[in-house]
Amino acid sequence: MTDAVLETTDVTVLLVDDNPQNLKVLYETLKDKGYRLLIANDGEKALDLAHRHQPEVILLDIMMPELDGYQVCERLKADPVTSDSAVVFLSALDDLQAKVRGFSLGGADYISKPFQAQEVIARVKTHARVIRLERELQARNRQLENDQARILNSISEGIYGLDATGVIVFANPAAAVTMGSSAEELIGQNFFDLHFRTAGQGRESLPVYATCSQGIAENQRDIEMLRADGTAFPVEYRSTPKLDGEELHGAVVVFRDITAELESEQALENARNMVQEQREQIAHFSRLTTMGEMAAGVAHEVNQPLTAITNYARVARRVLAKEEPDHQLLEETLEKIEAQSHRASEVIRRIRRFMKKPAAGKDVLSISALLEDTRQFAEVDIRNNEGGVEISVADNVPEVLADPVQVQQVALNLIRNALESTRSAGFSAPVEVAVTMSGRRCVRVTVTDHGVGLPDDAEEKLFLPFYTTKEEGMGIGLPMCRSLIQAQGGDIGFERPEHGGACFYFTLPVAGSDGTACAPDADSSGSAV
């Protein structure tokens, strides 16, 4: 009998026996069971058919000429193509040694002759199902491995698999590119010896060591590592323990070269410092401009106590010129000279404090004290307004964290604008400065006037550079105020009061809060600009 494909099914069964009658019985037994049946009457043909068709089950006679069943089984198991086929021996031999030998060569089962049809059908069905499931499982595993490989290959970050001693057992293509070496050259080398200068001085303090040895996950940035050529570069890495149940088998390290990222951060920091420096220069220029506008008034403020001092000094000289000086009058006169000296000194002190460039950093300050100081500084403008400036501070308003010079510059700008607007409208109502809490983290300062108000479309443009509603204005005051307040972590805006006029507000973070900036908050009423 020659080999032939007798039926086509998903499961292939190879029947091997040198006895035609036995083959016929096996064929008749299995032909209607849905199997694809192959037939071979000697060992060589069986090997050829098995290699070409990879049957799930092979019913293999032991006693055959030239190649017996044991030899065929041994060669089937040695061939990777046929090694997973289930070999079921067929033999009239029923001794234990024969069965043990068959199993030792890779046989899966043993059927004694003469065959029992139901036994053959049941065993073939069982082995066919097992082999099919095993092959499906292997295919699925291969698919998963391929998917995993594709994922690892597509990741832009370098990935190492390390054993418990730090030996590299896996490296993805990104790791090879980053390290300037092939993955094959990296695998087998020790991670610590290869990538750290101080590995020879002890590894306990090196990155990833605790993960490999103790299973402690790590995540660090700006760590120096060495490439294969010995050049150093900064990395950010995450290492996680490689566990099998509770047993530690090393670590998985995901890393990336952050050289370009650090350079960008440094460039950004330099640009930020430059902007901050320019902002401070502009703010200083703005203060000089303000002082120029207030120069006449300030000169008057200083001249008043100086004139008083001169007059009191003349009085003192006249008292001393008498034969019997009035010591009581002289003492009172000198006290007045001293008081006027303090007054002049205080005016100059406020000017110097306002004009100086702010020191780096912020101070914890009382916003009510700062506003009172600002009101005194604006005394010249206040004299032109009958109502003046009223300051009200809510209870329990805490100190804020801010630069006092810059905050005073903003407050003075808003108060002077409010006084000017009220005066232009011909009203005598005072400019109202109120301090309240805005939520739990911020203090809110509002400056409200009774002036002519702002045009309907002003809200969208108020804080844009060079936009102004004044005939002689430059449009840099409010943008400067916004820049200064935002630098303090605060916010600035405009509200349109119901009684008319204008209301500007700014917020500052409370000292000791969590440092979150005072963004436009839901607690404040009105619309922020």
Beta bridge partners of 243: 248
Beta bridge partners of 239: 218, 253
> Which element (helix H / strand E) includes 469?
none
pTM for the full model? 0.50
**Helix-helix angle 327-355:404-425, to 10 degrees:** 100
Domains of the chain: 12-151 (3.40.50.2300), 156-259 (3.30.450.20), 262-355 (1.10.287), 363-509 (3.30.565.10)
- Phi and psi angles of residue 54, each rounded to the nearest 5 degrees, phi first: 50, 65
Bridge pairing between strands 442-448 and 503-509? antiparallel
Distance of CA 62 to the CA centre of its chain: 69
**Residue 389 · residue 372 · CB < 8 Å:** no
Q: CA 437, 443, 444, 447: dihedral to nearest 10 degrees? A: 120
What pLDDT is stored for residue 303 in this prediction?
Answer: 79
C-alpha distances in Å from residue 371, one per residue of 26, 27, 184, 391, 463:
107, 107, 71, 8, 22
Q: What is the pLDDT along the chain (529 residues), one digit of tens a residue?
A: 444 444 445 789 999 999 999 899 999 999 888 899 999 999 999 999 999 999 999 999 998 888 899 999 999 999 999 999 999 998 876 678 888 888 899 999 988 888 888 989 999 999 988 988 888 898 999 999 888 888 888 888 999 999 999 999 999 999 999 999 999 999 999 999 999 998 888 888 899 999 999 999 999 999 999 998 999 999 999 999 999 888 999 999 999 999 999 999 999 999 988 888 887 777 777 777 777 767 766 777 777 788 889 988 998 999 898 888 888 999 999 999 999 898 888 888 877 777 776 666 678 899 999 999 888 878 767 776 777 899 999 998 999 988 888 898 899 889 988 988 888 888 888 999 999 998 888 999 999 998 888 887 777 777 776 667 666 656 667 888 888 888 888 999 988 888 888 999 999 999 887 656 776 544 443 333 3
What pLDDT is stored for residue 525 in this prediction?
Answer: 39
Beta bridge partners of 167: 190
C-alpha distances in Å from residue 60, one per residue of 15, 28, 39:
7, 16, 10
> Among candidates 470, 359, 371, which has minimal Cα distance to 411?
371
Beta bridge partners of 438: 442
Exposure string for 368-386, b = 16+ CB within 10 A, e = fewer? bebbebbbebbbbbbeebe
Task: Name the maximum alpha-carbon separation found in the chain.
Answer: 163
Q: Which residues contact 444 (CB under 8 A, 6 or more apart)?
A: 435, 436, 437, 438, 505, 506, 507, 524
> Among candidates 16, 25, 35, which has minimal Cα distance to 88?
16
What pLDDT is stored for residue 284 in this prediction?
Answer: 78
- As a whole number of angstroms, the distance between CA 180 and CA 174 comes to 10
What pLDDT is stored for residue 519 in this prediction?
Answer: 60
- As a whole number of angstroms, the distance between CA 517 and CA 512 comes to 13
C-alpha distances in Å from residue 112, one per residue of 27, 58, 73:
17, 15, 17
- As a whole number of angstroms, the distance between CA 99 and CA 93 comes to 8
> Which element (helix H / strand E) includes 455?
none
Q: How many Å is the Cα radius of gyration of the chain?
A: 47
> Among candidates 478, 418, 408, which has minimal Cα distance to 451?
418
> Among candidates 262, 283, 254, which has minimal Cα distance to 409?
283
> Among candidates 304, 504, 526, which has minimal Cα distance to 417?
504
What pLDDT is stored for residue 367 in this prediction?
Answer: 92
What pLDDT is stored for residue 323 in this prediction?
Answer: 85
What pLDDT is stored for residue 514 in this prediction?
Answer: 66
Q: How many beta carbons lie within 10 A of that of residue 200, not counting itself?
A: 9
- Tokens read off for 428: 């005598």
Please provide the DSSP assignment of 198-210 as one string.
GGGG-STTSTTHH
